A and B are shown apart, each in its own frame.
Chain A
Amino acid sequence: AQSVAQPEDQVNVAEGNPLTVKCTYSVSGNPYLFWYVQYPNRGLQFLLKYITGDNLVKGSYGFEAEFNKSQTSFHLKKPSALVSDSALYFCAVRDDSSNDYKLSFGAGTTVTVRA
């Protein structure tokens, strides 16, 4: 079984401040982890993924995420947030022991960056 939790419905930060969006996961095997962003009236855009290797992964638009196996977390971070980063963010997981390629998505976190 696989699942992911995003404990915060909303995150509000000032432009220029660091942004963190939290995600924890649960899998039977090893996790494949993903972050997506959804702007209003748009589809989901892939930001970054962790499959194996370096625990810190870098993605699009200056975002990065850190895989922490002991805490079963994969938090999304950006050192300096922009107003244009305001969007809905989804964390997703796939158990590597699964061969059906299905992803389980979190409930989503709405990020608001104020000018």
Chain B
Amino acid sequence: SAVISQKPSRDICQRGTSLTIQCQVDSQVTMMFWYRQQPGQSLTLIATANQGSEATYESGFVIDKFPISRPNLTFSTLTVSNMSPEDSSIYLCSVSPGVGEQYFGPGTRLTVT
């Protein structure tokens, strides 16, 4: 398994600003993922962030809006840029150290006003 921490745990931001979310893992992992989740809803994959390569974005998500950094095997950041109220959500990072299961961070609850 893996232990994952995220910062901040929650934030309230003004529209038009940007927020950077940090994800720290207690062990080295190649595969890392960023998700968005509306409370009580399912998860939507934003992008896959593997160390040593550019992040791969899912349909509907673009690098200009959600730039991702993956500087090493234990850390990643997701930035939500030029925020609007529609970006209000829970953002989760996860890692896949094994055959297929993913382990998730506690999430960052973002509210945009």
A interface residues, Cβ below 8 angstroms from B: 32, 34, 36, 41-46, 49, 51, 88, 90, 94, 100-103, 105-108, 110
Q: State whether A44 touches B100 (Cβ < 8 A).
A: no
Asked whether A32 and B42 contact (CB < 8 A) given A46-B1, A101-B31, A102-B48, the answer is no
Q: Which of the four size classes fits the interface of chain B?
A: 20 to 34
Contacts of A44 in B (CB 8 A): 43, 92, 94, 104
The answer for the CA separation of A43 and B56 in the assembled complex, in Å, is 23
- Residues B100 and A101 in contact, CB atoms below 8 Å apart: yes
Contact A105 B43 (CB under 8 A): yes
Q: A44-B92, A51-B99, A103-B100 are in contact. Are A90 and B42 (CB under 8 A)?
A: yes
Given contacts A51-B99, A90-B42, contact A43 B48 (CB under 8 A): no
Chain B contact residues: helix, strand, loop or mixed: loop
A32 touches B99 (CB 8 A): yes
- Contact surface of B with A, Cβ cutoff 8 Å: 1, 4, 31, 33, 40-43, 45, 48, 56, 92, 94, 96, 99-107, 109
CB-CB nearest in chain B for A95: B100
Contact A43 B104 (CB under 8 A): yes
A43, A100, A103, A110: the one contacting B92 at CB < 8 Å is A43
Residues of A within 8 A of B103 (CB): 46
Q: Which residue of B lies closest to A42 (CB)?
A: B106
Whether the Cβ atoms of A108 and B42 lie closer than 8 Å is: yes
Query: Are B92 and A51 closer than 8 Å at their CB atoms?
Result: no
